[in-house]
Amino acid sequence: MLLVQYKSKESDRAIIDDITAKINQNLGEWYGFHSKLAVEFPTIRSHKNSFILRYPITTSSGEKKNVLVKIRRYPRMNSLSQAIRADIHGKVPMEYQSLKYVFDRLVKKDENFGVVRPLAYFDAYFAIVMEEFPSRTLRQILAAHRHSSSTGKGLNELKDAAKKTGQWLHYFHQHVHSPSEREYTREQILDEIRSYAIPLEDCSHGRVHAQSILDAFSQKLENVQIDSIVFSQSHADMICDNVLYSNDKKVCVIDFKTRHAPIYSDLGLILIHPETFKLQIFSGGVYLPESLLREYRTAILEGYFGDKPVDQFFIKLYSAIKVLDRWRKYEEQMRKYKGVRYLILLPIAPMVTAYFKNVLMKHLDSIEVVESSQAIKVAKSVDHSA
């Protein structure tokens, strides 16, 4: 995750002062009458897609906590005022409501799950106010243990975090929301693939041909009868950066985009996301060893399905689809670069294309014909105790 120190801007001072005053006014309601701010000015950091204002506080009982204020930004925005003025906040109220919805349904529900406590939404600044969840991301855990041995403590921590991530996602699909089997056909799946492949061809300046991608997927689907698939409300951005693992070994998931989708959409993304880390791409796929990724994927699926059978056909199909989606996003991002950055990327872009092409074909090739029989009748549910 990109993390840089915020550089103070005079134009932001009034905004920060007002947010600070609002937090001060609400501390009593949130943490008791004698709670107080530990600082007069927050620490502010610029993440890739948000500014985070961090306020240390002391509660009425003397407990130390941190209140966070999140304001959406794009990477090139260098001030709070610039970010607030931009037309980029349309989905932020929904993100806050999703945070509240999940908190109400998960708080103290399972010893393996943690939750971010939502505190307020400041409309004037499109700002989500929440309590900090002290933790590391799943990305950080993968990076920290990439050299761990098969019997090492580090790998056990990664497997625990991954398994609980699968359990959390299952609970989210099956109990926080209500799953249902919906009609879904081969053509609808190909339409989704087409929606990624066509923009990919355009962004890659001809390095990629949409029809060849469609043909590769069609070949895997041609002898498969698909009538339905299990849908639920999905997280819709189930990446390793949005999975938090606390010191007391609880998993918490943040940054909900939320839409109705096949359950395999979230699963496919969390399974393949480590393969799309920049360090993984530019190392040619050796930054995270395949043995580590295999343990990670196995733990995710074990957490999600428990002792129920895993529909390998849809798992592998949606893993391939999500690789294609991530590939499209990389190519779209590279197309936006101009000037010196564009010149630097000229020799790099073909390498990115070649990497994703290899990863996509790896996942497609893993879909064996014999497994396609599992897709003829989709299980009504994969419900089990999380």
175: domain CATH number? 3.90.1200.10
pLDDT at 9: 83
- Positions of the chain with pLDDT under 70: 1-5, 149-152, 342, 369-386
**Which of 132, 160, 189 marks a domain boundary?**
132
Are 210 and 92 members of one domain?
no
Are 51 and 68 members of one domain?
yes
pLDDT at 333: 86
pLDDT at 276: 98
Are 62 and 125 members of one domain?
yes
Cα–Cα dist 190/221, whole Å: 9
**Single-letter code of the amino acid located at 337:** Y
Domain that residue 45 falls in: 3-132
Number of domains in the chain: 2
Contact 334, 196 (CB under 8 A): no
3-state secondary structure of 304: helix
Chain position carrying tokens 């990327």: 345
pLDDT at 370: 42
Are 230 and 298 members of one domain?
yes
Cα–Cα dist 47/65, whole Å: 21
Are 105 and 212 members of one domain?
no
Of 187, 182, 164, nearest in space to 249 by CA: 164
Range 117-146 burial, b when 16+ CB lie within 10 A, else e: bbbbbbeebbbbbbbbbebbbbbebbbebb
Contact 375, 185 (CB under 8 A): no
pLDDT at 376: 42
pLDDT at 375: 42
Radius of gyration of the chain (CA): 22
Instruction: Give a yes or no: residue 331 inside a domain.
Output: yes
Query: Within 10 Å of residue 226's Cβ, how many Cβ atoms?
Result: 20
pLDDT at 383: 53
Our CA angle for 169, 174, 177, nearest 5°, is 95
Look up residue 90 and give its DSSP letter. Answer: T
Are 184 and 100 members of one domain?
no
Instruction: Give a yes or no: residue 384 inside a domain.
Output: no
Are 334 and 205 members of one domain?
yes
What φ, ψ does residue 111 adopt, rounded to 5°? -70, -15
- What's the predicted TM-score (pTM) here? 0.90
Contact 78, 70 (CB under 8 A): no
Are 330 and 296 members of one domain?
yes
Are 182 and 259 members of one domain?
yes
Phi-psi region of 182 (alpha: psi -120 to 50; beta: other; left: phi over 0): beta
